[in-house]
Amino acid sequence: MEPKMIFKPTEKQYQVLQDAFDYFNGALFKDSLPQVMLTLNRKRNTFGYYVPSIWTDAKGVEQWGEIALNPDYILKDGTRTDKEVYSTLVHEMCHLWQEYDGSAPRRFYHNKAFAEKMEHVSLITSSDGTPNGKRTGQYVTHYIVEGGPFDLAFNSMPKSLLIPCHTLFALKGEAKKKIKKTRPKTVTYFCPKCGATVKGKEDTNVICGDCMEKMLVKTGRDR
C-alpha cells in the first residue's frame, strides 16, 4: 500500500518563494545577486522589506540579508495578484542589488540610483503608485510597466512558481474571528500617461478616454 502523500504548506510555500527568487535573479539580474533569507512577516502597512546582513550561520562566518513579504497582502480574495506580490519581491531584490552595487542610501530610502534600477526592470517607483508620484523618498512603491522586462518575465514564468498558499484574511489589530464573504473589490485605476484616476471593480479593462491608454491599478507601498 502506497503511503499517503502529505502536503507540507511551509515547505511548499518557502520552496516556491526560493525558486521565484532564483528565477527573477536569472531573468532580470543575470544571476548577479547573492542569496538571502526569505521570510514572511506581517509588518504594518508594508508589502515587503529588505534588511542587509541580518542573518549568519552557526559559526558566524557567512552573512545574508533578509527579504520579507507581508502575508496580509498575499490574500486568497485576490486583493493583490501573484504578479503584484512578485513585483514586491523584485522591488526588494533591487534593494539587494543596490547594497552590493555600493550605491545604497540610508535604510529604507529610495534614491535616484534605486529608481533607475527599478526602471531598468520596468517597475516605476512612485510615492503614490501613479505617474504623478515622487520617484524617490523614504516611502516609495511602484507600478508595473506592461510589456517591460518584469512583466514579460512573469508572464513567461513556469506556472509551478505561482504562489501555492494564500491567507484567508489579514491580521490587522486583533485577529479577525470571522472570515468575510468574498465580494467584488473596488480599486483605483490610473492612466500611466496623464495620471487621471477613476474607481472601478477589480479586473475591469479600463481605458483612459483622453489618452486611449489602458489604465493600471494603483497599489500600496513597499520599503
Q: Given this model, what pLDDT does residue 140 score?
A: 92
Confidence of residue 145 (pLDDT cuts 50, 70, 90): very high
Question: Does residue 156 or residue 198 have the better pLDDT?
Answer: 156
Question: What average pLDDT does the chain have?
Answer: 88
Confidence of residue 171 (pLDDT cuts 50, 70, 90): confident
Contact predicate 78/202, CB 8 Å: yes
Q: Given this model, what pLDDT does residue 149 score?
A: 98
Q: Among candidates 38, 5, 14, which has minimal Cα distance to 161?
A: 14
Q: What is the dihedral of CA 127, 123, 28, 152, to 10 degrees?
A: 160
Alpha-helical segments (H) within 30-158: 82-101, 112-120, 149-156
DSSP state of 159: G
Sign of CA dihedral 93, 27, 35, 13: positive
Dist. CA 63–CA 96, nearest whole Å: 13
pLDDT of 52 higher than 90: yes
Stretch 61-66: mean pLDDT: 94
Contact predicate 216/143, CB 8 Å: yes
Angle CA 131–137–142, to nearest 5: 40
pLDDT of 194 higher than 70: yes
Task: Read off the C-alpha cell for 98.
Answer: 543596490
Stretch 65-86: mean pLDDT: 94
Q: Given this model, what pLDDT does residue 148 score?
A: 97
Q: Given this model, what pLDDT does residue 32 score?
A: 96
pLDDT of 104 higher than 70: yes
Percent of all residues in the chain with a pLDDT value above 90, rounded to a whole number: 64
Q: Given this model, what pLDDT does residue 184 score?
A: 58
Dist. CA 147–CA 52, nearest whole Å: 31
Least confident range of 7-16, 160-169, 177-186, 200-209? 177-186
Task: Read off the C-alpha cell for 186.
Answer: 473596488
Confidence of residue 176 (pLDDT cuts 50, 70, 90): very low
Structure pTM? 0.77
Question: Does residue 66 or residue 207 have the better pLDDT?
Answer: 66
Q: Given this model, what pLDDT does residue 180 score?
A: 46
121 exposed, middle or buried (CB, 10 Å; 0-12, 13-18, 19+)? Answer: buried
Confidence of residue 26 (pLDDT cuts 50, 70, 90): very high
Q: Given this model, what pLDDT does residue 20 score?
A: 98
